[in-house]
Structure 1
Protein backbone atom coordinates (compact mmCIF):
# COMPACT_ATOMS: atom_id res chain seq x y z
CA UNK A 1 0.00 0.00 0.00
CA UNK A 2 2.82 2.43 0.85
CA UNK A 3 4.42 1.90 -2.55
CA UNK A 4 1.12 2.80 -4.26
CA UNK A 5 0.84 5.96 -2.16
CA UNK A 6 4.47 6.86 -2.99
CA UNK A 7 3.76 6.38 -6.69
CA UNK A 8 0.67 8.58 -6.45
CA UNK A 9 2.59 11.28 -4.58
CA UNK A 10 5.27 11.19 -7.28
CA UNK A 11 2.62 11.84 -9.92
CA UNK A 12 1.65 15.18 -8.39
CA UNK A 13 3.98 16.94 -10.82
CA UNK A 14 1.93 15.63 -13.75
CA UNK A 15 0.54 18.60 -15.70
CA UNK A 16 -2.20 18.61 -18.30
CA UNK A 17 -1.29 20.29 -21.58
CA UNK A 18 -4.20 22.33 -22.86
CA UNK A 19 -2.95 22.43 -26.48
CA UNK A 20 -3.02 20.70 -28.89
CA UNK A 21 -6.48 19.38 -28.14
CA UNK A 22 -5.42 15.79 -28.88
CA UNK A 23 -2.97 15.88 -25.97
CA UNK A 24 -5.62 17.39 -23.71
CA UNK A 25 -7.95 14.51 -24.59
CA UNK A 26 -5.24 11.90 -24.00
CA UNK A 27 -4.40 13.39 -20.59
CA UNK A 28 -8.03 13.21 -19.52
CA UNK A 29 -8.37 9.70 -20.91
CA UNK A 30 -5.50 8.75 -18.59
CA UNK A 31 -7.11 10.61 -15.68
CA UNK A 32 -10.36 8.76 -16.41
CA UNK A 33 -8.49 5.47 -15.92
CA UNK A 34 -7.08 6.78 -12.63
CA UNK A 35 -10.61 7.78 -11.68
CA UNK A 36 -11.83 4.25 -12.30
CA UNK A 37 -9.09 2.97 -10.00
CA UNK A 38 -10.20 5.54 -7.39
CA UNK A 39 -13.70 4.07 -7.53
CA UNK A 40 -12.43 0.50 -7.16
CA UNK A 41 -9.94 0.98 -4.33
CA UNK A 42 -11.26 0.57 -0.78
CA UNK A 43 -8.28 1.66 1.35
CA UNK A 44 -8.91 5.09 2.83
CA UNK A 45 -5.24 6.10 2.67
CA UNK A 46 -5.00 5.36 -1.05
CA UNK A 47 -8.26 7.19 -1.76
CA UNK A 48 -7.03 10.24 0.14
CA UNK A 49 -3.70 10.17 -1.72
CA UNK A 50 -5.62 10.02 -5.00
CA UNK A 51 -7.82 12.96 -4.03
CA UNK A 52 -4.69 15.01 -3.32
CA UNK A 53 -3.31 13.96 -6.70
CA UNK A 54 -6.50 14.93 -8.52
CA UNK A 55 -6.51 18.34 -6.80
CA UNK A 56 -2.83 18.94 -7.73
CA UNK A 57 -3.60 18.10 -11.37
CA UNK A 58 -7.00 19.80 -11.69
CA UNK A 59 -6.23 23.09 -9.94
CA UNK A 60 -4.03 24.48 -12.76
CA UNK A 61 -6.61 23.27 -15.31
CA UNK A 62 -9.42 25.00 -13.40
CA UNK A 63 -7.48 28.26 -13.51
CA UNK A 64 -7.36 28.39 -17.32
CA UNK A 65 -10.11 26.14 -18.67
CA UNK A 66 -12.69 27.80 -20.93
CA UNK A 67 -14.36 26.01 -23.84
CA UNK A 68 -12.46 22.82 -23.05
CA UNK A 69 -15.12 21.94 -20.46
CA UNK A 70 -17.29 20.77 -23.37
CA UNK A 71 -14.74 18.20 -24.56
CA UNK A 72 -16.18 14.73 -23.92
CA UNK A 73 -13.01 13.38 -22.25
CA UNK A 74 -13.14 16.06 -19.54
CA UNK A 75 -16.91 15.86 -19.22
CA UNK A 76 -16.75 12.06 -18.81
CA UNK A 77 -14.04 12.40 -16.17
CA UNK A 78 -16.12 14.86 -14.14
CA UNK A 79 -19.28 12.78 -14.58
CA UNK A 80 -17.42 9.67 -13.42
CA UNK A 81 -15.95 11.15 -10.25
CA UNK A 82 -18.32 13.84 -9.02
CA UNK A 83 -21.20 11.67 -7.68
CA UNK A 84 -19.00 9.30 -5.63
CA UNK A 85 -16.73 12.16 -4.50
CA UNK A 86 -19.73 14.16 -3.31
CA UNK A 87 -21.11 11.10 -1.52
CA UNK A 88 -17.77 10.47 0.22
CA UNK A 89 -17.54 14.15 1.18
CA UNK A 90 -20.67 13.57 3.27
CA UNK A 91 -18.70 11.20 5.55
CA UNK A 92 -16.67 12.68 8.39
CA UNK A 93 -13.62 10.50 7.78
CA UNK A 94 -13.34 11.73 4.18
CA UNK A 95 -14.48 15.35 4.43
CA UNK A 96 -11.04 17.01 4.61
CA UNK A 97 -9.69 15.04 1.66
CA UNK A 98 -12.78 15.23 -0.54
CA UNK A 99 -13.89 18.88 -0.23
CA UNK A 100 -10.97 20.19 -2.35
CA UNK A 101 -11.54 17.48 -4.96
CA UNK A 102 -15.27 18.18 -5.19
CA UNK A 103 -14.50 21.89 -5.54
CA UNK A 104 -12.03 21.23 -8.38
CA UNK A 105 -14.50 18.95 -10.16
CA UNK A 106 -17.12 21.70 -9.96
CA UNK A 107 -14.64 24.21 -11.39
CA UNK A 108 -13.68 22.07 -14.40
CA UNK A 109 -17.25 21.04 -15.16
CA UNK A 110 -19.57 22.77 -17.60
CA UNK A 111 -21.52 25.84 -16.52
CA UNK A 112 -24.73 23.78 -16.36
CA UNK A 113 -22.99 21.10 -14.29
CA UNK A 114 -21.69 23.75 -11.90
CA UNK A 115 -25.06 25.46 -11.52
CA UNK A 116 -26.85 22.15 -10.91
CA UNK A 117 -24.34 20.82 -8.37
CA UNK A 118 -23.16 23.93 -6.54
CA UNK A 119 -26.24 24.35 -4.27
CA UNK A 120 -26.09 20.81 -2.79
CA UNK A 121 -22.34 21.22 -2.20
CA UNK A 122 -22.92 24.59 -0.56
CA UNK A 123 -25.53 22.99 1.72
CA UNK A 124 -23.00 20.33 2.65
CA UNK A 125 -20.48 23.04 3.55
CA UNK A 126 -22.91 24.78 5.85
Structure 2
Protein backbone atom coordinates (compact mmCIF):
# COMPACT_ATOMS: atom_id res chain seq x y z
CA UNK A 1 0.00 0.00 0.00
CA UNK A 2 1.39 3.39 -1.02
CA UNK A 3 0.03 6.72 0.21
CA UNK A 4 0.70 10.21 -1.15
CA UNK A 5 1.64 13.23 0.96
CA UNK A 6 3.01 16.75 0.97
CA UNK A 7 5.82 17.84 3.26
CA UNK A 8 4.60 21.46 3.51
CA UNK A 9 7.98 22.89 4.53
CA UNK A 10 9.96 20.86 2.01
CA UNK A 11 12.11 17.76 2.04
CA UNK A 12 14.94 19.10 4.19
CA UNK A 13 12.46 19.94 6.93
CA UNK A 14 10.94 16.48 6.59
CA UNK A 15 14.34 14.81 6.94
CA UNK A 16 15.03 16.89 10.05
CA UNK A 17 11.72 15.83 11.57
CA UNK A 18 12.47 12.19 10.75
CA UNK A 19 15.86 12.37 12.49
CA UNK A 20 14.19 13.62 15.70
CA UNK A 21 11.18 11.32 15.45
CA UNK A 22 10.22 8.46 17.73
CA UNK A 23 9.17 6.53 14.60
CA UNK A 24 11.94 3.97 14.03
CA UNK A 25 10.34 1.42 11.69
CA UNK A 26 11.02 3.21 8.42
CA UNK A 27 13.64 3.23 5.68
CA UNK A 28 14.23 5.98 3.12
CA UNK A 29 14.69 4.75 -0.44
CA UNK A 30 14.83 6.38 -3.88
CA UNK A 31 16.80 9.50 -4.74
CA UNK A 32 17.34 10.69 -1.19
CA UNK A 33 18.84 7.37 -0.10
CA UNK A 34 20.89 6.96 -3.29
CA UNK A 35 22.51 10.37 -2.73
CA UNK A 36 24.16 8.95 0.42
CA UNK A 37 26.32 6.74 -1.80
CA UNK A 38 26.19 8.29 -5.26
CA UNK A 39 24.84 11.82 -5.56
CA UNK A 40 23.14 12.34 -8.92
CA UNK A 41 20.89 15.39 -8.71
CA UNK A 42 18.88 17.20 -6.03
CA UNK A 43 15.90 15.17 -4.83
CA UNK A 44 12.46 16.48 -5.64
CA UNK A 45 10.52 13.81 -3.80
CA UNK A 46 10.92 11.34 -0.95
CA UNK A 47 10.13 7.64 -1.09
CA UNK A 48 9.92 6.02 2.33
CA UNK A 49 8.99 2.57 3.57
CA UNK A 50 7.08 2.74 6.85
CA UNK A 51 5.56 -0.07 8.89
CA UNK A 52 2.79 2.35 9.95
CA UNK A 53 2.50 5.08 7.32
CA UNK A 54 -0.36 6.92 9.06
CA UNK A 55 1.51 7.28 12.35
CA UNK A 56 4.70 8.28 10.53
CA UNK A 57 2.85 10.90 8.47
CA UNK A 58 1.26 12.40 11.58
CA UNK A 59 4.53 12.55 13.51
CA UNK A 60 6.46 13.97 10.55
CA UNK A 61 3.85 16.68 9.86
CA UNK A 62 2.82 15.43 6.42
CA UNK A 63 -0.48 16.35 4.79
CA UNK A 64 -2.48 13.98 2.58
CA UNK A 65 -2.48 15.02 -1.06
CA UNK A 66 -3.73 14.10 -4.51
CA UNK A 67 -1.64 16.71 -6.36
CA UNK A 68 1.63 18.45 -5.58
CA UNK A 69 2.82 15.26 -3.90
CA UNK A 70 6.45 15.25 -2.73
CA UNK A 71 6.37 12.25 -0.37
CA UNK A 72 5.33 8.66 -0.98
CA UNK A 73 4.96 6.40 2.05
CA UNK A 74 4.79 2.69 1.31
CA UNK A 75 3.86 -0.05 3.73
CA UNK A 76 5.89 -3.03 2.53
CA UNK A 77 4.06 -6.33 2.15
CA UNK A 78 7.19 -8.11 3.40
CA UNK A 79 9.99 -7.14 5.78
CA UNK A 80 12.61 -7.33 3.04
CA UNK A 81 12.35 -3.55 2.50
CA UNK A 82 13.81 -3.07 5.99
CA UNK A 83 16.42 -5.84 5.72
CA UNK A 84 19.92 -4.41 5.65
CA UNK A 85 18.71 -0.88 6.40
CA UNK A 86 21.40 1.37 7.83
CA UNK A 87 21.30 4.33 10.18
CA UNK A 88 23.41 7.27 9.10
CA UNK A 89 25.40 9.17 11.70
CA UNK A 90 22.70 11.84 11.74
CA UNK A 91 20.07 9.20 12.63
CA UNK A 92 18.29 8.94 9.28
CA UNK A 93 17.50 5.32 8.34
CA UNK A 94 18.17 4.27 4.73
CA UNK A 95 17.13 1.14 2.89
CA UNK A 96 20.00 -1.12 1.81
CA UNK A 97 21.74 0.02 -1.40
CA UNK A 98 20.47 -3.00 -3.34
CA UNK A 99 16.88 -2.20 -2.34
CA UNK A 100 17.35 1.45 -3.28
CA UNK A 101 18.74 0.45 -6.69
CA UNK A 102 15.77 -1.83 -7.38
CA UNK A 103 13.31 0.87 -6.36
CA UNK A 104 15.01 3.41 -8.63
CA UNK A 105 15.09 1.00 -11.59
CA UNK A 106 11.31 0.87 -11.56
CA UNK A 107 10.77 4.56 -10.78
CA UNK A 108 9.66 7.36 -13.09
CA UNK A 109 11.68 10.08 -14.82
CA UNK A 110 15.36 10.14 -14.03
CA UNK A 111 15.11 7.34 -11.44
CA UNK A 112 16.54 4.62 -13.77
CA UNK A 113 19.57 6.84 -14.46
CA UNK A 114 20.03 7.31 -10.72
CA UNK A 115 19.85 3.53 -10.35
CA UNK A 116 22.64 3.11 -12.90
CA UNK A 117 24.81 5.62 -11.03
CA UNK A 118 24.17 3.83 -7.73
CA UNK A 119 24.91 0.41 -9.26
CA UNK A 120 28.18 1.76 -10.66
CA UNK A 121 29.08 2.93 -7.14
CA UNK A 122 28.09 -0.48 -5.72
CA UNK A 123 30.37 -2.28 -8.20
CA UNK A 124 33.31 -0.02 -7.31
CA UNK A 125 32.67 -0.21 -3.55
CA UNK A 126 31.34 -3.70 -2.92
CA UNK A 127 33.29 -4.06 0.34
CA UNK A 128 31.46 -1.02 1.78
CA UNK A 129 27.90 -2.20 1.33
CA UNK A 130 27.86 -6.01 1.41
**Structure with more of its chain in strand, by fraction:** 2
Length-normalised TM-score, structure 1: 0.34
**TM-score (normalizing by structure 2):** 0.34
Higher helix share: 1
